[in-house]
Structure 1
Amino acid sequence: MDMGGVDRVDDLERDEALAEAIRLREAGRREEAKEQLVALAEHFPHDAEVAYQTAWVHDTLGLEAEAVPYYEHALEGPGLTEDDRRGALLGLGSTYRTLGRYENAVTTLTDAVNEFPDDAALKTFLAMALYNTGRAHEAMRMLLTLLAATSSAPEIAGYRSAIEFYAKDLDATT
């Protein structure tokens, strides 16, 4: 795909423009970042990282519906680091949930938890989506298990085994 160095120049410009857009977003200049990222996404339509960053900035602006196609594109194939893939899965699942697309959220977040089983944030967002689909029992079990496993609060630690027991069967009695 090298056309006499043009792609190398484009790649360099892409890296600089992407870094600048991320700086703008992080500095709270999200509208400017969005404009730059949308232009980058048009110029680099097969770039997963650009798509992910474009989705992210749309999400931060409350433009969830506009973020979805960018998230979906970013996740279609390779090109994301493991951390960015995790972030894109969380962003897409959370965005689906915000838009009331609860089943899409559950599917996306379930797949994400299967891919990243130790990620507490993914499990938390999955629990919220499960609740939205009427699966409150499953959501509660997930959150209690997560709480027992991750809390350092002494009040929780003292009851860890009881919490773990009831997480398995909330209707259990002694």
Structure 2
Amino acid sequence: MSEKAQGRDELLAAAVGLRQRGDAEAARERLVAAVERFPGDAEVAYQAAWAHDVLGLEAEAVPYYEQALRGTGLSEDDRRGALLGLGSTYRVLGRYDEAVRLLRAAVMDFPGDGALRTFLAMALYNTGGHREAMRILLTLLADSSSDPDIARYRRAVASYAEDLDATV
């Protein structure tokens, strides 16, 4: 491992440790400096985005998320996390159409991810896509709930997810 890569890994580990211990501001400061020191490093940019989000600095997080997703080298889990983070952040900032586009593509890449589908449903709600949002949420509920009362009606919930206006 090169000296530069080792320094990057140590810096990243220290910053993530700070965030995990509740010192998000110190983590953010270190990660902003790391992005400048390691431009184009997708993982560093992703961690910087996350640090901004934790502090409620959504608008400042966006460019870091976008940089992370443009780059290469993110693990599948980190890529999924960056997609969710950016889509959610777009939605929080009122950038609903961008949130829907991004989250719809993310769900195509990770169809089994319930969190991505949930955030897509919220963004669809914000754009007036109430029917599709309900379909997504009812399907997710039918597929994943361990509640025995819901399990008893799983087939009915799944059926209504396809056609909520259906009558018997």
Q: Please classify the TM superposition score into its range, dividing by the shorter chain length.
A: over 0.9
Alpha-carbon displacement from aligned partner over 1:110-144 (angstroms, at most 9, x marks no partner):
01000000000000000000000000110001000
Q: Secondary structure at the match of 1:24?
A: helix
Instruction: Specify the alignment match of 2:129 in structure 1.
Output: 135
Instruction: Give how far 1:94 is off.
Output: 0.2
Q: Deviations over 1:61-119 (max 9, x none)?
A: 00000000000010013210000000000000000000000000001100100000000
Q: Determine the C-alpha separation between the residues in 2 that align with 1:104 and 1:68.
A: 12
The code of the aligned residue for 1:118 comes to G
**Cα deviation, residue 155, structure 1:** 0.2
Displacement over 6 Å in runs of 4+: none
DSSP-derived class of the 1:112 partner: helix
Structure 2 counterparts to residues 3-18 of structure 1, below 5 A: 8-18=2-12
1:23 is the counterpart of 2:13 = no
- TM-score, reference length from structure 1: 0.95
What percent identity do the matched residue pairs reach?
67
Query: What residue identity is the alignment partner of 2:105?
Result: D
Which residue of structure 2 lines up, in the alignment, with residue 4 of structure 1?
Answer: none
Matched residue, 1:68:
62
Residue 73 of structure 2: aligned partner: 79
Task: Give the distance between the partners of 2:66 and 2:138, measured in 1 at CA.
Answer: 31
- Alignment partner, residue 125 of structure 1: 119
Structure 1 unaligned blocks of 5 or more: 1-6
Structure 2 unaligned blocks of 5 or more: none
State the AA in 2 paired with 1:129.
Answer: A
Amino acid of the structure 2 residue aligned with 1:16: E
Write the letter of the residue equivalent to 1:152: S
| SS of 1:148 mapped into structure 2 | helix
What is the identity, as a one-letter code, of the residue corresponding to 2:98? Answer: N
Aligned length: 168
Q: Within 5 Å, give how 1:46-65 maps onto structure 2.
A: 46-65=40-59
Higher gyration radius (CA): 1
SS at match of 1:38: helix
User: Of 83, 91, 94, which residue of structure 1 is paired with 2:88?
Assistant: 94
Q: Distance in 1 between matches of 2:84 and 2:77?
A: 11
Residue 147 (structure 1) aligned with residue 141 (structure 2): yes
Equivalent residue letter for 2:116 = L
For the residues of structure 2 that align with 1:21 and 1:77, how far apart are their CA atoms?
Answer: 20
- Give the one of 129, 135, 151 matched to 1:157: 151
Instruction: Note the aligned Cα RMSD (angstroms).
Output: 0.9
